[in-house]
């Protein structure tokens, strides 16, 4: 394989699937001369994120009868040597199905990024789309952070799969050997193909009256606001799992994006190990954390130990992976908490005292301190007193009281008891963790 050819990143057996579609070097084009090359540029293309906007009733599987789709294309620009920078970057997407039409493009005209980048978008009503990010002023450059582009697509027929090609072009500013500076065109040598099947697509619904943004789409149904006096939504007993990533806010933008992708993969891998139906769970993303509300029929005695082993195994796999061609100097580590209680599905998320107690345990200083002090593990866990007494001392396989410490928890107005311990990696993940996320 040529060194300049985009490299596909697929999961190898027994590992968590990779979140990258491909990494590619940006090679010289136009008048940019290789003998003047004191720069090196590249791009990491994330796997497209897909959300089916259902036209059928609630609970329909993703893409079943759906003719509208939201696709988000994340990508990371590689940092360049000192004195070099990106003046302009263009992301071009071409869909193989020529009947697809773009109904909306974001970012759109007039949008400005945190670094002041000016954005233009082309392709409304077509199957060939293009976003251009340009530095805000003469002499300025784009920050090499994670970026995204997304489109709402319509099809005249129900969607069963979506495929196409992605290419990145740009203009860089770089020094010459003569001591002067120049601009030159760069691009990925080839278009990078992508393909999404029904299994890759989330069921989603747009937030009414809002401009679509990544993460601003309900993953488990329609967001709605009930009228005053409406009956409460059903409250049912659920096992709940919440996780939070250590030191997330200290990371740069690109690392935050990678961590969010890794978090989703870790959660899905844990469910796969525990034979928990991911699509049957209530799910609520929290940026650096995640809430999983397991189905009422879950066998807690089997699910809890396997979820813990799945989390630990997936974290170990993530921390073995290179990021953008280099091994990340910072490990992905997290806190987890389990609790069982009555949960309601409210208008903007899951509600109930059980959810509050769960997150108070997750945020408690003793659990944070345990993770900070025990550098031999990537995962620490807290059980509520009730969940601990129901499961841990009862002799169930995979659950032992060894290592647990009873701890008083005080967070804001909450006071209670939790049982905490470190949790190590229990072995390799099973083969089904290679399923795409």
Tens digit of pLDDT for each residue in 150-205?
898 888 877 778 999 999 999 888 776 666 677 788 889 889 999 988 777 776 54
**The pTM of the whole model exceeds 0.85:** no
Note whether 129 and 71 are same-domain residues.
Answer: yes
pLDDT winner (highest mean) among 12-21, 99-108, 137-146, 225-234: 99-108
Does residue 222 lie within any of the structural domains? Answer: no
206, 235, 258 - which closes a domain: 206
pLDDT for 217: 32
pLDDT for 401: 93
Note whether 168 and 114 are same-domain residues.
Answer: yes
CATH number, position 317: 3.30.70.1230
Provide, rounded to the nearest whole percent, the portion of the chain with pLDDT above 70. 73
Note whether 157 and 301 are same-domain residues.
Answer: no
| 122 contacts 110 by C-beta, under 8 angstroms | no
Distance CA 302, CA 291 (A): 19
More confident residue, 66 or 304: 304
Domain that holds residue 177: 7-206
Distance CA 369, CA 95 (A): 49
Note whether 199 and 232 are same-domain residues.
Answer: no
Strands 201-203 and 49-53: parallel
Does residue 422 lie within any of the structural domains? Answer: yes
Does residue 2 lie within any of the structural domains? Answer: no
CATH number, position 132: 2.60.40
Strands 42-46 and 7-8: unpaired
Note whether 176 and 271 are same-domain residues.
Answer: no
172, 206, 240 - which closes a domain: 206
Does residue 221 lie within any of the structural domains? Answer: no
Side-chain half-sphere exposure of 338, counting CA atoms within 13 A: 25
Note whether 352 and 414 are same-domain residues.
Answer: yes
For the chain, what is the domain count? 2
Give residues with Cβ within 8 angstroms of 297, minimum separation 6.
none
- Nearest alpha-carbon partner for 289 in 253, 355, 331, 335: 335
Q: Is the pLDDT of residue 55 over 80?
A: no
Note whether 93 and 233 are same-domain residues.
Answer: no
Note whether 299 and 194 are same-domain residues.
Answer: no
pLDDT for 373: 92
Distance CA 406, CA 156 (A): 59
Question: Concatenated DSSP letters for 274-311?
Answer: TT--GGGSEEEE-SSEEEEE--TT--HHHHHHHHHHHH
For tokens 């987890």, name the residue.
336
- Nearest alpha-carbon partner for 1 in 190, 167, 185: 190
Does residue 219 lie within any of the structural domains? Answer: no
Does residue 212 lie within any of the structural domains? Answer: no
Note whether 189 and 257 are same-domain residues.
Answer: no
Q: Is the pLDDT of residue 37 over 50?
A: yes
Distance CA 258, CA 429 (A): 21
């Amino acid at each position: 394989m040529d060194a300049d050819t985009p490299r596909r990143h697929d999961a190898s057996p027994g590992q968590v699937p990779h979140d990258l579609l491909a990494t590619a070097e940006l090679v010289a084009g136009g008048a940019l001369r290789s003998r003047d090359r004191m720069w090196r540029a590249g791009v990491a293309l994330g796997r497209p994120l897909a959300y089916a906007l259902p036209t059928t009733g609630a609970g329909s599987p993703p893409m079943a009868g759906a003719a509208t789709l939201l696709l988000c294309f994340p990508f990371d620009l590689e940092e360049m040597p000192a004195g070099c920078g990106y003046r302009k970057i263009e992301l071009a997407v071409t869909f193989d199905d020529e009947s697809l039409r773009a109904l909306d493009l974001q970012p759109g005209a007039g949008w400005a990024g945190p670094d002041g980048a000016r954005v233009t978008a082309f392709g409304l009503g077509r199957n060939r789309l293009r976003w251009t990010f340009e530095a805000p002023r003469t002499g300025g450059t784009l920050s090499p952070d994670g970026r995204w582009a997304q489109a709402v697509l319509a099809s005249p027929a129900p969607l069963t799969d979506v495929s196409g090609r992605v290419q990145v072009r740009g203009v860089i500013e770089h020094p010459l050997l003569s001591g002067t500076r120049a601009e030159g065109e760069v691009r990925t040598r080839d278009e990078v193909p992508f393909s999404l099947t029904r299994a890759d697509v989330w069921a989603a619904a747009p937030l009414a009256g809002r401009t679509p943004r990544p993460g601003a789409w309900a993953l488990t149904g329609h967001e709605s606001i009930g009228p005053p006096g409406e009956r409460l939504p059903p409250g049912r007993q659920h096992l709940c799992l919440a996780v939070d990533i250590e030191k997330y806010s200290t990371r740069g933008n690109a690392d935050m994006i990678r961590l969010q992708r890794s978090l989703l993969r870790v959660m899905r891998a844990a469910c796969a190990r525990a034979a928990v139906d991911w699509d049957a769970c209530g799910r609520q993303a929290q940026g650096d954390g995640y809430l999983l509300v397991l189905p009422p029929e879950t066998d807690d005695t089997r699910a809890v130990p396997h979820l813990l082993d799945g989390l630990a195994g997936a974290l170990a796999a993530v921390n073995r992976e290179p990021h953008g061609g280099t091994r990340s100097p910072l490990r992905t580590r997290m806190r987890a908490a389990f609790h069982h209680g009555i949960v309601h599905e409210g208008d903007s998320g899951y509600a109930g005292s059980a959810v509050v107690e769960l997150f108070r345990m997750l945020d408690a200083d003793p659990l944070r301190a345990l993770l900070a002090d025990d550098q031999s593990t990537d995962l620490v866990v807290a059980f509520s007193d009730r969940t601990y007494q129901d499961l841990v001392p009862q002799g169930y396989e995979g659950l032992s009281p060894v290592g647990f410490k009873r701890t008083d928890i005080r967070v804001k107005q909450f006071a209670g008891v939790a049982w905490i311990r470190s949790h190590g990696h229990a072995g390799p993940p099973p083969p089904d963790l290679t399923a795409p996320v």
